[in-house]
Amino acid sequence: MIDLDQAPDSSFYQLARSYLNILTNSEKSHLVLKKNFYYKKMNLSDDIAKWSGYEIFLKTETHTIISIIFRRSCNYKKKVPQNIMNVLMHELLTYEPLTCEPLTYYFHLQIDIFLVIPPLLDKRQDIYITFKISYQSQKDYNVTDKILYDELYMVANSITSNDINNIYYVNLIQAQLNSLIYNAEIYHHIETIIKIKPVYFDYVKMFLKYMLVTLKEGGVYISSGSTKFKQEKTEIQMLIYFMHSLIIYTFLFTHIFTLDIMDFLEEEIKIERDFSYLLNLILSQIPGINLIDTHISEKKKINRILHRLSDYIIYCLDTGFMSHKYNITDFINGALKIDSERREDVNYILNFFLHLRETDYGKEYEKECLKMLEIEKDGDMKINKLLSSKKYTINDFFLFYLHQSGYINKYYKYKNDNDYKKIVSYILRYGVDLKIKKSVCKNLLIFSNDYKNKYNILVNSIVIFLYQNSDRQNFCLFILSTLINITNNNDEIKNQLIKLNISKVANFFILSKDYEIVHKVILLYINLSKEEYMCDDMINNGLFINFLDILFDLYYINLKIKKEICINILCIIGQVLNYKKYAIFLLNNYIGLIEVAIYIYQTTDFVFFNKIKIIYFFKQIAKYNYIIKTQICNYIIPLVIKEIYLFSNKDFIYSVLNLLNTISDYKTNCLALIQMNILDFIGFIKSLSILDLYKKAIQIEKKIKKNLDVVS
């Protein structure tokens, strides 16, 4: 601590204390069990920067939190040979620094023939590693505090400076890569940056070659551009095919390039015809696997490795080794066109890629997974029954591509569109690939604007997906936007949402204060508050009170999204006011509501906002109180008349006429309207020659004149 305080740029202890405050600010109570300096034990020998560390261990009411904070800072006392200094100074002079301060500091040190050795030419880097786990998860997964600490130390000690020629712990990474414990993104990083592959990669190539040879022998022409239609067996067509191929190959050899993917897989690679034997051959090359051992733990290990191997080979097709020549879509297109006598062989591969299996790895993967996609007599699929038990998992990435490519459509021929949507439903509910789910969400949003598309079968999965990903803003925005579209004039879906307790997740979003999501929730509830039972659900779950709180919190803030939120909340309140019991509650408990609405209207620009919703609110609330009618007449109508003279909009004028019809029931208001030259305004409306507006204007004119006759 003393050493740190004496350093010229040091505030490390304050940094640690500040981060501790960040960890505990949101907690009602906490107990700090450990806080002291931490000394990094690995990855320091090749790093000339100075490392300082601090560890924190605390418990809150619900979670265990452990954290290590590192500061990697300049080494001020290391003298550098002149030749190295010249090189570094050249880099410095050609580098645009992150801040002005480091550059000034370098030039100052050059005078003293000392050089600061910085991380990334900056003064310091602060690194935080934090593990947070709930007590329930610790109990469910048997994670002790010691295990958590061991994991934290492993991560903290493994952190090292980045280097273009990365040589740190390649053997460790190689061992992990051999075990296939990563996902596609990490595989891609390791293969392109560190440039290593599994030690048995040649056997993976054997699998890929088996796959391509199976397609080729099944009459599918393989090329790196796409999968061609299968070769027909008539002599004339074979001759045409041969001549066509000859022309193509002549052109390609002229340009010193070949499209034949088989050349890419190297001729010397052995072709193994037996699929099961091929898998065992690959497994035999993986370190730590004993195929002879029949113990249940070893069987589970083998099943787990097979699962990872399936994912890795899909990665090789999708973004890895073969993707730029021949990808997953090409393979499925080939499976669509293969001869019937070789279809069973390609089904082995498809089942392996789908990899439907029990989550505990106690049994082998289902080798008849494709058959489980068939519709059974009860109208359901067997695959759904297995997945809904939560004891099975499937490769949702490959299932999605089978669905998108038309494979399911060709071989299973479902009777109606809902059966195809069930596949999308399974991906949303049971899948784990977030990229695929994001694609599904985007497609749902795009097609939800078409009222012909029926999404009733998907609603259950959509809501479950929303619950599961409530912490991911992009997914939530996609799903909420989709729900807004599909609930428009669809009472059946509205009923489903209420039965699925959509109000609970809506409350969570409201309390999150993420105003983009809050806005979507409010737009959704404009659709979900049009019937009394819908209003009952919204109010009984406390959502309506939260809407009112947001309105009173934000009404004076002149930001576009917050202004729109307030306007849409007023629209929801207007719909709730259709029911007298709720109107009485509002008028008795929210006395300033009309003043807030008047303020919002007066400060809202007609050009950029839809003020019809506020007019609708005024019309609804004016039905219940003469004082409110007078307030609206005095503070809103003059501005409304001016806006209509400036911006003639049929829908807006019609909503204003409905409001005038409501407030003109009160005779005192009629006198005030006459003073505002309301009859001239009505004459202007009639001059627009729009039948609906003309009839409404005549009705209001008669009502005002009748009330004035009574007064006089």
What is the mean pLDDT for each group of 10 consecutive residues in the chain (712 residues)?
42 83 85 87 61 90 91 57 40 35 30 34 75 88 88 83 55 84 86 86 89 87 53 44 45 38 63 88 87 88 93 87 79 90 91 93 91 85 89 92 87 81 88 86 83 79 88 88 88 89 90 91 93 89 92 91 94 93 88 92 88 94 90 92 86 92 87 90 90 90 82 44
Under 8 Å between Cβ of 650 and 658? no
Task: Give the span between the Cα atoms of 680 and 698, in whole angstroms.
Answer: 12
Under 8 Å between Cβ of 425 and 461? yes
Secondary structure of residue 381 in the 3-state scheme: strand
Distance of CA 189 to the CA centre of its chain: 22
- Measuring CA to CA, how many Å separate 617 from each of 243, 565, 605? 75, 14, 17
Tokens of 163: 């280097």
- Domain membership flag for residue 580: no
pTM across the whole model: 0.68
- Domain membership flag for residue 511: no
Q: Is 11 in the same domain as 126?
A: yes
Task: Give the span between the Cα atoms of 299 and 290, in whole angstroms.
Answer: 9
- Exposed/middle/buried for 124, CB within 10 Å: 0-12, 13-18, 19+? buried
Q: Is 250 in the same domain as 143?
A: no
Contacts of 61 (CB under 8 A, 6+ apart): 27, 28, 29, 30
Task: Give the span between the Cα atoms of 409 and 332, in whole angstroms.
Answer: 13
Q: Is 267 in the same domain as 356?
A: yes
Residue 182: CB atoms within 10 A of its CB come to 18
Residue 274: CB atoms within 10 A of its CB come to 11
Q: Is 157 in the same domain as 214?
A: no
Q: Is 155 in the same domain as 7?
A: yes
What backbone phi and psi angles, to 5 degrees, belong to 127?
-125, 130
Task: Give the span between the Cα atoms of 696 and 698, in whole angstroms.
Answer: 5
- Domain membership flag for residue 445: no
- Provide the domain limits for residue 212: 201-367
Sign of the torsion formed by the C-alpha atoms of 103, 109, 115 and 118:
negative
Length of the chain measured in residues: 712
- Measuring CA to CA, how many Å separate 440 from each of 48, 366, 423, 447, 474? 48, 25, 11, 11, 13
Residue 73 region by backbone torsions, left for phi larger than 0, else alpha for psi between -120 and 50, else beta: beta
Task: Give the span between the Cα atoms of 58 and 66, in whole angstroms.
Answer: 6
Q: So what's the pLDDT on residue 279? A: 92
Q: Is 152 in the same domain as 219?
A: no
Q: So what's the pLDDT on residue 179? A: 87
- Domain membership flag for residue 193: no
Which of 336, 367, 398 represents a domain boundary (last residue)? 367
- Domain membership flag for residue 314: yes
Q: Which residue has the tokens 């960040």?
A: 22
Tokens of 306: 């097979």
Secondary structure of residue 67 in the 3-state scheme: strand
Count of the separate structural domains present in the chain: 3
Q: Is 347 in the same domain as 208?
A: yes
Contacts of 642 (CB under 8 A, 6+ apart): none
Closest CA to 712 of 657, 661, 674: 674
- Domain membership flag for residue 547: no
Facing residues of 125 across strands?
72
Question: Rounded to the nearest 5 degrees, what angle is found at the Cα of 632, between the Cα atoms of 519 and 669?
Answer: 160
Task: Give the span between the Cα atoms of 68 and 286, in whole angstroms.
Answer: 35
β-strand pairing of 30-37 with 357-358: unpaired
Under 8 Å between Cβ of 475 and 438? yes
β-strand pairing of 392-393 with 357-358: antiparallel
Residue 126 region by backbone torsions, left for phi larger than 0, else alpha for psi between -120 and 50, else beta: beta
DSSP string, 74-134: -BTT----HHHHHHHHHHHHTS--SSHHHHHHHHHHHHTT---B-STTSSEEEEEEEEEEE
Task: Give the span between the Cα atoms of 575 and 661, in whole angstroms.
Answer: 18
Q: Which residue has the tokens 């065992």?
A: 280
Q: So what's the pLDDT on residue 169? A: 60
Q: Is 55 in the same domain as 147?
A: yes
Task: Give the span between the Cα atoms of 479 and 517, in whole angstroms.
Answer: 10
DSSP string, 254-278: HTT----HHHHT-TTS-----HHHH
- Exposed/middle/buried for 201, CB within 10 Å: 0-12, 13-18, 19+? middle
Q: In 202-217, which positions are buried (b, 16+ CB within 10 angstroms) versus exposed (e)? A: ebbbbbbbbbbbbbbe
3-state SS track over 477-529: HHHHHHHHHHCCCCHHHHHHHHHCCHHHHHHHHHHHCCHHHHHHHHHHHHHCC
Q: Is 146 in the same domain as 29?
A: yes
Q: Is 694 in the same domain as 632?
A: yes
Task: Give the span between the Cα atoms of 707 and 712, in whole angstroms.
Answer: 9
Closest CA to 231 of 99, 81, 342, 367: 342
Under 8 Å between Cβ of 285 and 270? no
Contacts of 485 (CB under 8 A, 6+ apart): 445, 448, 449
Q: Is 129 in the same domain as 257?
A: no
- Domain membership flag for residue 188: no
Which of 367, 402, 429 represents a domain boundary (last residue)? 367
Q: Is 216 in the same domain as 279?
A: yes
Under 8 Å between Cβ of 147 and 133? no
Which of 332, 367, 402 represents a domain boundary (last residue)? 367
- Domain membership flag for residue 650: yes
Under 8 Å between Cβ of 521 and 481? no
Contacts of 27 (CB under 8 A, 6+ apart): 60, 61
Tokens of 37: 């300096």
Residue 451: CB atoms within 10 A of its CB come to 11
Q: So what's the pLDDT on residue 323? A: 67
